[in-house]
């Protein structure tokens, strides 16, 4: 393993019935990072996570967690990994605490003597203490999701894999998860979070990777991803929209009218160089600014607009 990678995959691929669900994925998740795994629905995020955790075997390539090859070394490495995979899964007829006790007893290195205390602490951490003896059947989706996160936190982990952790949570819950992820990361845990919500990733991650129709289309630090974003744009407020579009066209920019503004990708040009040309063309300028490319622009550029489920 390359030094300091918590997750590493090489040409990882999975075919289902002759169709590539995931192909040629080379992830490199640095230890200690909060890594966002982005992609629209159906882009192969969960399939990749299932391969990382040894639930399904790859049809090509390899994956390693914390330096150990998966799925061969699953028994040794998985106790150090906490996971939330494709939503919570619990026995409805058992209480929240009993469900956690059951899953904890399945972990061969978990100490039964400290089980009760650890379950209490994990439930406390996700704010479920009051509902711990209630049957999971009576839980709301958000509560089940919290219980799923509590399960991932039953023991101190080196790596957390959280698949859509804020799914079904209310705004407070979403914020709590963000705070929790940050505090875990501060404690040295690598956190791998998948999401289709950009804002979420932007707010809590240091690194990110983007999936599209089963392939990895970008990865790096958030700044690197933003830097590779489409050009910054010029936003011009003017009553002379047509004249402005013509003037910018003469300067080599393709401008369009967007509401009350004229917008053009800057293509590396500086605004201060464009203003004299506009003034010379008789364009009256009410306001002019450069809009920085957001991660969202980059995301949309990478994954396409609208629905784009792999077929």
Partner 1 sequence: MSRTEQARPVERRRLGLSLLATEITVLFRRKRTWAMLLALAAVPVLVGVAIRLSSGGDSGRGPSFLTQIAGNGLFVGVASLVLAIPLFLPLTVGVVAGDTIAGEASQGTLRYLLVAPAGRPRLLLVKFLGAAVFCFAAPLTVVVAGTLTGVALFPIGPITLLSGDQVPVAEGLLRLLLLAAYVGVAMLGLTAVGLFVSTLTDVPVGAMAATVVLAVTSQVLDQLPQLEALHPFLLSDSWLGLIDLLRQPPEWGTFGTNALLQLGYVVVFGALAYGRFTTRDVLA
CB of 62 to partner 1, least distance (A): 17
CB neighbours of residue 182 within 10 Å = 14
Of 302, 290, 286, 303, the residue nearest 253 (C-alpha)? 290
Binding string to partner 1 for residues 69 to 98, with x set by CB under 8 A, is what?
-----xx--xxxx-x-xxxxxxxxxx---x
Q: In Å, how far are 11, 244, 265 from 247, measured between CA atoms?
A: 48, 5, 14
Q: List alpha helices for the chain, DSSP H.
A: 45-52, 74-77, 96-106, 115-125, 141-152, 171-186, 198-204, 222-227, 241-250, 271-280, 295-303
CB of 215 to partner 1, least distance (A): 20
User: Is residue 51 within 8 Å of 214, Cβ to Cβ?
Assistant: no
Give the nearer residue to partner 1 in terms of CB position, either 95 or 303.
Answer: 95
Binding string to partner 1 for residues 130 to 169, with x set by CB under 8 A, is what?
---------------------x----x-xx----------
CB of 231 to partner 1, least distance (A): 37
CB of 104 to partner 1, least distance (A): 8
Give the nearer residue to partner 1 in terms of CB position, either 109 or 291.
Answer: 109
In whole angstroms, give the CA distance from residue 263 to residue 214. Answer: 33
Question: Total binding residues for partner 1 by CB under 8 A?
Answer: 51
Binding range to partner 1, per CB under 8 A, among 1-9, 37-45, 171-179, 219-227: 1-9
Site for partner 1 in 107-126 (CB under 8 A): 107-112
CB of 76 to partner 1, least distance (A): 9
In whole angstroms, give the CA distance from residue 291 to residue 1. Answer: 40
Of 189, 262, 266, 241, the residue nearest 34 (C-alpha)? 189
Is position 102 an interface residue for partner 1 (rule: CB under 8 A)? yes
Burial (Cβ within 10 Å: 0-12, 13-18, ≥19) of residue 300: middle
Binding string to partner 1 for residues 165 to 204, with x set by CB under 8 A, is what?
-----------------------x-x--------------
CB of 63 to partner 1, least distance (A): 14
In whole angstroms, give the CA distance from residue 4 to residue 159. Answer: 12
CB of 123 to partner 1, least distance (A): 16
Is position 214 an interface residue for partner 1 (rule: CB under 8 A)? no
Helices (runs of H) and strands (runs of E) counted in the chain: 11, 15
- Quick one: which of 38, 101, 162, 302 contacts partner 1 (CB under 8 A)? 101
CB neighbours of residue 119 within 10 Å = 22
CB of 65 to partner 1, least distance (A): 10
Is position 32 an interface residue for partner 1 (rule: CB under 8 A)? yes
Give the nearer residue to partner 1 in terms of CB position, either 162 or 293.
Answer: 162
Enclosing H/E stretch for 78: none
Alpha carbon of residue 164 to chain centroid: 8
Residues forming contacts to partner 1 in the complex (CB under 8 A) are 3-6, 31-32, 50, 53-57, 66-67, 74-75, 78-81, 83, 85-94, 98-99, 101-112, 151, 156, 158-159, 188, 190
């Amino acid at each position: 393993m390359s030094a300091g990678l918590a997750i590493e995959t090489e040409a990882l691929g999975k075919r289902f019935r002759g169709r590539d669900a995931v192909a040629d994925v080379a992830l490199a998740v640095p230890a200690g990072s909060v890594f966002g795994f982005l992609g629209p629905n159906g882009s192969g995020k969960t399939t990749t996570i299932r391969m990382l955790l040894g639930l399904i075997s790859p049809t090509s390539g390899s994956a390693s967690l914390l330096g150990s090859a998966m799925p061969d070394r699953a028994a040794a490495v998985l106790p150090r990994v906490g996971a939330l995979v494709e939503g919570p899964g619990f026995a409805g007829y058992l209480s929240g605490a009993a469900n956690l006790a059951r899953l904890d007893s399945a972990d061969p290195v978990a100490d039964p003597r400290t089980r009760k205390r650890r379950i209490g602490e994990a439930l406390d951490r996700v704010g479920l203490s009051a509902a711990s003896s209630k049957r999971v059947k009576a839980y709301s989706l958000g509560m089940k999701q919290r219980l799923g996160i509590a399960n991932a936190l039953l023991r101190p982990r080196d790596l957390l894999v959280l698949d859509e952790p804020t799914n079904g949570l209310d705004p407070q819950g979403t914020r709590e998860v963000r705070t929790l992820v940050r505090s875990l990361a501060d404690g040295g845990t690598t956190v791998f979070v998948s999401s289709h919500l950009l804002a979420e990733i932007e707010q809590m991650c240091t690194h990110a990777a983007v999936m599209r129709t089963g392939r990895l289309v970008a990865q790096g630090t958030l700044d690197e991803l933003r830097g590779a974003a489409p050009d910054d744009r010029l936003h011009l407020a003017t009553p002379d929209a047509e004249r402005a579009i013509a003037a910018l066209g003469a300067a080599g920019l393709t401008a369009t009218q967007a509401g009350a503004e004229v917008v053009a990708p800057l293509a590396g040009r500086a605004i201060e160089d464009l203003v004299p040309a506009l003034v010379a063309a008789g364009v009256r300028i009410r306001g002019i600014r450069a809009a920085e490319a957001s991660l969202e622009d980059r995301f949309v550029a990478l994954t396409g607009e609208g629905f784009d489920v792999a077929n």
